[in-house]
A and B are shown apart, each in its own frame.
Chain A
Amino acid sequence: MDEQDRALVARYLEGDGEAAGDLVDRYQTRLFNVALRMLANVQDAEDVTQTVFFNAFQNLRTYDPRYKFFSWIYRMTVNESLNALKRRKRTVTLDDEPDIRAPGAAADGVAEAEDRVGRALMGLRPDDRAVVVLRHFVAFSYQEIADVLEIPVRTVKSRLFTARERLRLSLREQVS
Chain B
Amino acid sequence: MLSRDQIELIHREIDEANTPQESAAFRALMDENGEARALEADLRQVAGLLGQAGAREPPPHLKRAILDALPQPARASPASEPAWRTLRTIIGRAVGGLKLGTEHLGETIMTKKAVLIGSAAVAVVLIVASIVTGWPPRGDEAGTIGGVEPAARYHGHAMTEADVTLKNPEIQTLFQNDQILQLVRSDAFRQAMQNQAYRLILASDAYRQIAAGQAYQQVMAGQAYQQVMASQAYQQLMASQAYQQLMASQAFRDLAANSAYQQVMASQAYQHAMASQAYQQLMASQAFRNLANNSAYREMMNSQAFRDVVGSQAYQQMMASQAYQQVMASQAYQQLMNSQAFRNLENNSAYREMMNSQAFRSIVASQAFRALQASEAFRSLAQSQAMSQAFMREANRNQN
Interface residues of A (CB under 8 A from B): 12-17, 19-21, 24-25, 28-30, 32-33, 36, 42-43, 46-47, 49-50, 53-54, 57-62, 100, 103-104, 106, 109-110, 113-114, 116-118, 132, 135-137, 141-142, 157, 160-161, 164, 167-168, 171-172
With a CB–CB cut-off of 8 A, which chain A residues contact B74? Answer: 15
With a CB–CB cut-off of 8 A, which chain A residues contact B139? Answer: none
Q: How far is the CA of A141 from the CA of B67 in the complex (A)?
A: 30
Q: Show 7 A/B contacts (Cβ-Cβ < 8 Å), sorted by A.
A: A28-B63, A30-B55, A54-B70, A57-B71, A118-B53, A141-B17, A160-B11
Which residues in window 41-86 of B have CB below 8 A to A? 42-43, 45-47, 49-60, 62-63, 65-67, 69-74, 76-78, 81, 83
Q: Are B73 and A16 neighbours in the complex by a CB distance under 8 Å? A: yes
Q: Are B15 and A47 neighbours in the complex by a CB distance under 8 Å? A: no
Q: Which of A12, A15, A50, A113 contacts B62 (CB 8 A)?
A: A50
Q: Are A17 and B73 neighbours in the complex by a CB distance under 8 Å? A: yes
Q: Are A161 and B70 neighbours in the complex by a CB distance under 8 Å? A: no
Q: How far is the CA of A136 from the CA of B272 in the complex (A)?
A: 31
With a CB–CB cut-off of 8 A, which chain B residues contact A54? Answer: 66, 69-70, 277
Q: How far is the CA of A162 from the CA of B83 in the complex (A)?
A: 38
Q: Are A49 and B58 neighbours in the complex by a CB distance under 8 Å? A: yes
B230 to chain A, nearest CB (A): 37
Q: Are B46 and A171 neighbours in the complex by a CB distance under 8 Å? A: yes
Q: How far is the CA of A57 from the CA of B80 in the complex (A)?
A: 13
B331 is an interface residue with CB less than 8 A from chain A = no
Report the 6 A-B pairs with minimum CB-CB distance, sorted nearest first. Answer: A32-B58, A136-B50, A113-B52, A117-B53, A15-B73, A53-B66
A133 to chain B, nearest CB (A): 9
Nearest residue (CB) in A for B42 is A168
Q: Which of B49, B58, B76 contacts A117 (CB 8 A)?
A: B49
Q: Are B53 and A113 neighbours in the complex by a CB distance under 8 Å? A: yes
B396 is an interface residue with CB less than 8 A from chain A = no
Q: Are A25 and B63 neighbours in the complex by a CB distance under 8 Å? A: yes
Given contacts A14-B73, A62-B78, A137-B55, whether A47 and B272 have CB atoms under 8 Å apart is yes
Q: How far is the CA of A33 from the CA of B49 in the complex (A)?
A: 16
Q: How far is the CA of A16 from the CA of B42 in the complex (A)?
A: 50
A100 to chain B, nearest CB (A): 7
Q: Are B57 and A29 neighbours in the complex by a CB distance under 8 Å? A: yes
With a CB–CB cut-off of 8 A, which chain B residues contact A46? Answer: 58-59, 62, 65
Q: Are B11 and A157 neighbours in the complex by a CB distance under 8 Å? A: yes
B292 is an interface residue with CB less than 8 A from chain A = no
Q: Are B73 and A142 neighbours in the complex by a CB distance under 8 Å? A: no
Interface of B is mostly: helix
Interface of A is mostly: helix
With a CB–CB cut-off of 8 A, which chain A residues contact B15? Answer: 135, 142, 160
Q: Are B55 and A33 neighbours in the complex by a CB distance under 8 Å? A: yes
B268 is an interface residue with CB less than 8 A from chain A = yes
B362 to chain A, nearest CB (A): 19
Q: Are A20 and B73 neighbours in the complex by a CB distance under 8 Å? A: yes
Nearest residue (CB) in A for B63 is A24
Q: Are A100 and B56 neighbours in the complex by a CB distance under 8 Å? A: yes
Q: Are B63 and A21 neighbours in the complex by a CB distance under 8 Å? A: yes
Q: How far is the CA of A74 from the CA of B53 in the complex (A)?
A: 20
Q: How far is the CA of A100 from the CA of B55 in the complex (A)?
A: 11
B306 to chain A, nearest CB (A): 13
**What 9 new A-B contacts, CB under 8 Å, besides A25-B63, A142-B17, A171-B46?**
A21-B63, A46-B62, A53-B70, A61-B78, A104-B57, A117-B52, A135-B15, A161-B11, A168-B45
Nearest residue (CB) in A for B39 is A168
Q: How far is the CA of A21 from the CA of B45 in the complex (A)?
A: 38
Nearest residue (CB) in B for A20 is B70
Q: Which of B50, B59, B72 contacts A103 (CB 8 A)?
A: B59
Q: How far is the CA of A150 from the CA of B111 in the complex (A)?
A: 48
B8 is an interface residue with CB less than 8 A from chain A = yes
Q: How far is the CA of A32 from the CA of B65 in the complex (A)?
A: 13
B284 is an interface residue with CB less than 8 A from chain A = no
With a CB–CB cut-off of 8 A, which chain A residues contact B63? Answer: 21, 24-25, 28
Given contacts A46-B59, A54-B69, A168-B42, whether A110 and B17 have CB atoms under 8 Å apart is no
Q: Are B56 and A104 neighbours in the complex by a CB distance under 8 Å? A: yes
With a CB–CB cut-off of 8 A, which chain A residues contact B70? Answer: 20, 53-54, 57
With a CB–CB cut-off of 8 A, which chain A residues contact B77? Answer: 61
Q: Are B49 and A32 neighbours in the complex by a CB distance under 8 Å? A: no
Given contacts A29-B55, A36-B56, A137-B55, whether A20 and B67 have CB atoms under 8 Å apart is yes
B376 to chain A, nearest CB (A): 20
B59 to chain A, nearest CB (A): 5
